[in-house]
Amino acid sequence: MAKPTKITCVGMHLGDRSAVVRCDLPFLGRRAAFLHTRGKARIKSVPRLAHPSHPRRLGRGQQIRLDAFTCTSLRRAVTCRSRNGHGFTVGKSFQLTF
């Protein structure tokens, strides 16, 4: 089974109080999970996968903070949550937004 570390996440500032986290899902083609500081998560098609110069890859059981978000890698998935409680859990077998 492939490890979720193939999921690459990037946090981006969009303004003074606004940010987004994007996690590319290469096993789903050109799809990525997005979470904005002011809304629910979405999974949508993207024109190309992001290739940040310093991608944040999570090892199993690791947790990192990306701007206003916390992302955790589990055995089969990566979960990212915003401070307002919205987020997503994505893996090869399933994709959940909340």
For residue range 5-41, list pLDDT tens digits in order: 478 888 888 877 888 988 889 899 889 999 999 889 9
- Residues 78-89 pLDDT 10s: 999 999 999 999
**Domain extent for 65:** 4-97
pLDDT at 88: 97
- Angle, alpha carbons 22-9-53 (nearest 5°): 110
pLDDT at 10: 80
- Angle, alpha carbons 14-72-47 (nearest 5°): 45
Beta bridge partners of 65: 70
Residue 24 phi, psi dihedral angles, 5° rounding:
-80, 140
Quote the number of domains for the chain. 1
Count of alpha carbons within 13 angstroms of residue 9, beta-carbon side: 31
- Residues 38-80 pLDDT 10s: 889 999 998 876 665 665 566 778 888 877 899 998 888 999 9
